[in-house]
Structure 1
Amino acid sequence: MNRTDWDAYFASLIGDTGTGVPGLAVLAYADGREVYRFAAGVRRVDGERSWPMTVDSRFRMASVSKMFTVFTLMELAEAGKLSLDDDVSQYLGFRLRHPSYPDVPITLRMLASHTSGLRDGRVYSIPPSVRVKAFFTPGSPYWEDGAHFAPAGQAPGIYFTYCNLNYGLLGTVIEAVTGQRFDRYQKAHILAALDCRADYVPGNLEAAEFAKLGTVYLKRDSQGRWDEQGPWQGTIDDFGGVQPEREALALQNPYAQDVCQTYDLAAYRPGTNATIFSPQGGLRLSLEELGHVLAMMIQGGRYQDRPVLAPSSLQAMFSPQWVYDGHNGDTCGQTLLTYGLGEFFVDGTGPARCCRTKAVDLWGHTGQAFGLLSGLFVRLGTGSGFAYVMNGEALAEDDDLRSAGRFSCNYIWEENVMDGLCRLIDGL
């Protein structure tokens, strides 16, 4: 297929109903260089007006953010300021243990690989005045009857369950180690090194970058009713083009969208509760900036000929920390069978394969929240990889049969985009 054919293929995935998405942007690398980019549709709509999707449109990228949190963690480990096998308790300022396994320390490695024995519950982003200890304190409004601990039998270090709260705690540890706010430290170190103007706080974006911020949409109203033929309903970052005040941030709870109040960050004390920043999913990034990350990964930790991470740190991220043995974890519908540190492995012959016609093994991470779908993956040792972002869904995930993939256990939106990108980087 030539470029015109690929443009037509990706353009066919954009639409207002069915499995169409309001906006789509993709980028692909092969043999160590960028070979394709595409953007079309809309990043924001307001009545009859719309703003086009571009490669520098900025979105809350959901769980692709996790790899940036681990980049930051690895940078601190390289500097000797922490060790992945440290007990998280020494940084949080309280003893954190699973009640059923009081003698098993919960480590930073366990948090980063989702083997900590912790669980999300309904709410995992809480007000900045509240310490993260509240998640684990009986009687606290955020205790949720112990919902943040796994059932007995799912031991820390052994049993895998994907848990966003793990990364809220990692962000809090990063603050405790550096003495700086999570968002500020990551911006000054990892994001600056990658030439990313991204931010966790929309009000703190430069005006020109905020103007590129897109909205995430669903065809679901405030009462939870889906109407495929109805208008797109903004779910997050629906600011109507008006930038929020600086140093103000809303809670981000995809499982509890009624718990998303906005708070002033002025009095926040670093090291107490980085969940306000959503280290697991709250980074406002562009596809263009994800391309910088692809380049860095392909070039062994260097970007624009400057070091960002040591090759050994990337190797650790792309090394299995947990592998499903049939009993030792929740696979999220067989989409997660091997997890590293902020990255997971996709077996090209497995149930979550990304290519219909050929086995393409990948390491990376997807993002899925509030209607956004994103992903960044590399094919290790080949100089190949891709990134994508889609900013809405007209159908209910899981509840509508059309949301299911045709040849994999991925959603149809992910399947369509990733199959195309895999074929593109493989020259099929």
Structure 2
Amino acid sequence: MNRTEWDAYFASLIGDSGTGVPGLAVMAYAGGHEVYRFAGGARRIEGAQTWPMTTDSRFRMASVSKMFTVFTLMELAEAGALSLDEDVSGYLGFRLRHPVYPDVPITLRMLASHTSGLRDGKVYSIPPSVCVQAFFTPGSPYWEDGAHFAPAGQAPGVYFTYCNLNYGLLGTVIEAVTGERFDTYQKNHILRALDCRADYVPGNLSADEFARLGTIYLKLDKQGHWDENGPWQGTIDDFGGIQPQGETLSLQNPYARDVCQSYALSDCRPGTNATIFSPQGGLRLSLEELGHVLNMVLHEGCYAGKQVLQPSSLQAMFRPQWVYDGHNGDTCGQTLLAYGLGEFFVDGTGPARCCRTMAIDLWGHTGQAFGLLSGLFIQPGRGSGFAYVMNGEALAEDDDPRSAGRFSRNYIWEENVMDGLCRLIDGL
């Protein structure tokens, strides 16, 4: 297929109902260089008025943010500021142990690889004045009857369960060892090195960057009813073009949307609670900036002539820290079978394969929250990779049978986009 045909393919995925999405942007690399990009549809919708999706449109990128938290973690490890295999208690300032496994230290490596024995509960983003110890303290409003600990038989260091709270704790550790707020430190180091003008706080974006901020949508009304033929309903960053006050931020709890109040960041005490920033998913990024990440990863940690991360750090991220053996984890419907540090492996012949017609192995991460679907993946040893972002869904994930993939365990939206991108880079 030529460029015009690929443009037509990706444009066909944009729509106002069914499996269509309001906006889509994709980028592909081959041989270590960008070879294709596309953007179409709308990043923002206000009645009959729309603002176009572009490759520099900015979105809350969901779990693709996790790799930036691990980039920051690895940078600090390279500098000797922390060790991935130290007991996290020493960084947090309180003893963190699973009550069933009190003699097993929980380490940064376990947190980053989701083998910590911790669980999300419904809420994992809490007010800045509260210490993260509240998640693990009986009687606390955030204890949730012990929901943040795995049941017996799922020991730390052995059993995998995807847990966003792990990354809230990693962000808190980053604050503890740097003495700076999580968002500020990351912006001044990893993000600056990658020439990303991203931010966790929409009110702190520059005026130009805020103007490019897109909204994430669902066809879900306030009464909880899906209507694919109804209007798009903004779920997050639906500001109507008016930038929120700087140094304020709302809690981000996709599974408890009633717990999303706004707070002044003046209440932050670095090293006690970074969950307000959502280190697991709250970074407002553009596809253009994800291209900078692809460039850096495909060139062994070097971007624009600067060594951002050592090759050994990237190798650790893209190396299995946990592999499913049939019993040792929750695979999220057979989509997660091997996990590294902020990245996971996709077997080109497995149930989460990304290409219908070819076996293409990939490492990377997807994002899924509030209606957004995103991803960044590389093809090891080939200098190839891709990134994408979609900002809405007209159908209910899981509950509507049309949301299921046709040849994989991925959602149909992911399947359509990733299959196209895999075929594109394989044909170059």
TM category, shorter: over 0.9
Shift of 1:267: 2.6
Equivalent residue number for residue 214 of structure 1: 214
Q: Distance between the aligned counterparts of 2:208 and 2:360, measured in 1?
A: 38
SS in structure 1 opposite 2:266? Answer: coil
Alignment of 1:44-63 (within 5 A): 44-63=44-63
Write the distance in 1 (CA, Å) between the matches of 2:128 and 2:256. Answer: 17
Deviations 1:20-49 (A, max 9, x none): 000000000011111000000000000111
Distance 2:155 2:222 in 1: 39
Shift of 1:91: 0.7
Partners of 2:290 and 2:380 in 1: how far apart? 17
Specify the alignment match of 1:174 in structure 2. Answer: 174
Aligned residue in 1 for 2:136: 136
How far, CA to CA, are the matches of 1:31 and 1:231 in structure 2?
A: 42
Please state if 1:416 is matched with 2:416.
Answer: yes
Structure 1 match to 2:228? 228
In structure 2, the residue corresponding to 1:114 is in which secondary structure? coil
Q: Distance in 1 between matches of 2:58 and 2:220?
A: 22
1:318-357 mapped onto 2 (5 Å cutoff): 318-357=318-357
Distance 1:119 1:186 in 2: 25
Q: In structure 2, how many angstroms separate the alpha carbons of the residues matched to 1:130 and 1:278?
A: 15
**In 1, Cα distance between the equivalents of 2:220 and 2:255?**
15
Per-residue deviation at 1:222? 1.3
Tell me the amino acid that sits aligned with residue 240 of structure 1.
Answer: G
- Within 5 A, what are the aligned runs for 1:302-313? 302-313=302-313
The aligned residue for residue 28 of structure 2 is: 28
Counterpart in 2 of 1:360? 360
Structure 1 residue runs of 4+, over 3 Å off? Answer: none
**1:22-421 pair list within 5 angstroms:** 22-421=22-421
The 3-state SS of whatever aligns with 2:109 is helix
For the residues of structure 1 that align with 2:108 and 2:156, how far apart are their CA atoms? 12
TM-score (norm 2): 1.00
Deviations, residues 38-95 of structure 1 (Å, cap 9, x unaligned): 0000000001111000000000000000000000000000000111001000011100
Distance 1:135 1:11 in 2: 44
Distance in 2 (alpha carbons) for counterparts of 1:309 and 1:26: 25
Task: Write the distance in 2 (CA, Å) between the matches of 1:62 and 1:268.
Answer: 22
Deviations along 1:346-384, one digit per CA (max 9) or x if unpaired, are 000000000000000000000000000000000111110
Q: Distance in 2 between matches of 1:235 and 1:24?
A: 17
Q: Aligned partners of 1:262 and 1:416: how far apart in 2?
A: 36
Unpaired stretches in structure 1, ≥5 consecutive residues: none
List per-residue Cα deviations over 1:389-420 (Å, max 9, x = no partner): 00000000000000000000000000000000
Equivalent position SS for 1:20: coil
Count of matched residue pairs: 428
TM-score, normalised via structure 1 length: 1.00
Deviations for 1:185-228, whole angstroms, at most 9, x for unmatched residues? 00000000000000000000011000000000000011111001
Instruction: Name the aligned partner's letter for residue 412 of structure 2.
Output: I
Instruction: Report Cα offsets for 1:164-202 as digits up to 9, x if no partner.
Output: 000000000000000000000000000000000000000
Deviation, structure 1 residue 268 = 1.1
What is the deviation of 1:162? 0.1
Distance 2:267 2:413 in 1: 41
Aligned AA (1:244): P
RMSD of aligned Cα (Å): 0.5
Q: d(CA) in 2 for partners of 1:376 and 1:79? A: 26
**How many Å separate the matches in 2 of 1:78 and 1:217?**
39
SS in structure 2 of the partner of residue 374 of structure 1: strand
The alpha-carbon deviation at position 326 of structure 1 amounts to 0.2
String of CA shifts for 1:101-149, please: whole Å, max 9, x gaps. 0000000000000000000000000000000000000000000000000
2:2 aligned with 1:6: no
Q: 1:266 is paired with a residue of what secondary structure? A: helix
Distance 1:184 1:245 in 2: 17
Once residues 338 and 260 of structure 1 are traced to their aligned partners in structure 2, the CA distance between those partners, rounded to angstroms, is 32
Query: How far apart, in 2, do the equivalents of 1:385 and 1:251 lie?
Result: 32
Structure 2 unmatched ranges of 5 or more: none
Return the alpha-carbon distance in structure 2 between the equivalents of residues 173 and 222 of structure 1.
Answer: 37
Q: Which amino acid aligns with 1:348?
A: G
Matched AA of 2:29 = Y
